[in-house]
Each structure stands twice: as structure tokens, then as C-alpha cells.
């Protein structure tokens, strides 16, 4: 009996371990990329991962729609909730701006630059 093609290939020369590792890692990477592409193409999956920020019109609209749906709000309740949450957002923005102004008045120019770097470190990415 003659050996089949695979047996002849295996017997012909020894496998280079670095080449086998490179091919294996490449195949694993490509399988992961393909799985990621399929998952991202599923309806709604990508949009749930990348929602607009709340401080944008689209983000607020999406947030309000979610609240209305989850809480089963009436149109009147929805309107009231939007007004309350808008007030809260404005209060928060005003508080943050005022606080930052007060802090900057206390610090020297060099300290302000360092403080800004510290704030950047703690911002969500």
C-alpha cells in the first residue's frame, strides 16, 4: 500500500515549530475577527454597545424613550419626567461649571494645569 498525500507530506520534512505557531495564531485571530464581524452584524447588538452620550439630543431622546417604555409612562408622565430630568441635567452642568470656576480661582496656573491632567485621568473613556 502506498501512503496517502497527508502521510507523504508529514514524512517528507519536519515541521518548523515557529511556522506552525504563526499559522495557528493567524487562524485563531482570523476566526476571532470573523466571529466579531458576525456578532456586530446582528441586529441591535452594535447599537447597544455604542449608544450616544446623554448630553446629545440623540442620547436624551434614546434615554427618554427607554424610560417611557420600561416604566410604561403615560404621555403626561413622559412629559413631566423629561422636564424633571432636563432640570437635573442643567443643575448638574451648572454645578460642575461653578465648581470648576471656584477651584480654578484657588489654584495657581501651574496647579490648574496639573489639576486638568488629574481630571483627564479620571474621565470615562
Q: For the chain, what is the domain count?
A: 2
For residues 77 and 121, membership in a common domain is answered with yes
Q: Mean pLDDT of residues grouped by 10 in the chain (125 residues)?
A: 64 75 90 83 65 76 89 93 90 89 92 90 73
Place of cell 409612562: 73
Single residue among 17, 35, 50 that ends a domain in this structure: 50
For residues 39 and 62, membership in a common domain is answered with no
Say what angle helices 109-122 and 75-106 make with each other, to 10 degrees.
Answer: 140
Place of cell 497527508: 6
pLDDT at residue number 52: 72
For residues 9 and 33, membership in a common domain is answered with yes
Kind plus residue range of the DSSP H or E element containing 100: helix 75-106
pLDDT at residue number 19: 83
For residues 2 and 12, membership in a common domain is answered with yes
pTM, 2 dp? 0.48
Domain residues for the domain of 22 are 1-50
For residues 17 and 3, membership in a common domain is answered with yes
pLDDT at residue number 110: 94
Q: Over the range 46-58, which residues count as b (16 or more CB within 10 Å of their CB) and which as e?
A: eeeeeeeeeeeee
Backbone angles phi, psi at 93, to 5 degrees: -60, -40
For residues 58 and 92, membership in a common domain is answered with yes
For residues 44 and 64, membership in a common domain is answered with no
Grid cell digits, residue 43: 441586529
Backbone angles phi, psi at 123, to 5 degrees: -75, 140
For residues 116 and 72, membership in a common domain is answered with yes
Amino acid at each position: 500500500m502506498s501512503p496517502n498525500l497527508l502521510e507523504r507530506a508529514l514524512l517528507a520534512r519536519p515541521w518548523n515549530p515557529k511556522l506552525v505557531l504563526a499559522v495557528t495564531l493567524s487562524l485563531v485571530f482570523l476566526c476571532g475577527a470573523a466571529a466579531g464581524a458576525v456578532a456586530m452584524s446582528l441586529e441591535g447588538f452594535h447599537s447597544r454597545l455604542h449608544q450616544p452620550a446623554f448630553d446629545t439630543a440623540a442620547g436624551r431622546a434614546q434615554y427618554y424613550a427607554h424610560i417611557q417604555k420600561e416604566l410604561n409612562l403615560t404621555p403626561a408622565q413622559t412629559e413631566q419626567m423629561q422636564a424633571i430630568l432636563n432640570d437635573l441635567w442643567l443643575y448638574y452642568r451648572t454645578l460642575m461649571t461653578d465648581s470648576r470656576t471656584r477651584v480654578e480661582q484657588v489654584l495657581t496656573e501651574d496647579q490648574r494645569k496639573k489639576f486638568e491632567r488629574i481630571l483627564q485621568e479620571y474621565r470615562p473613556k
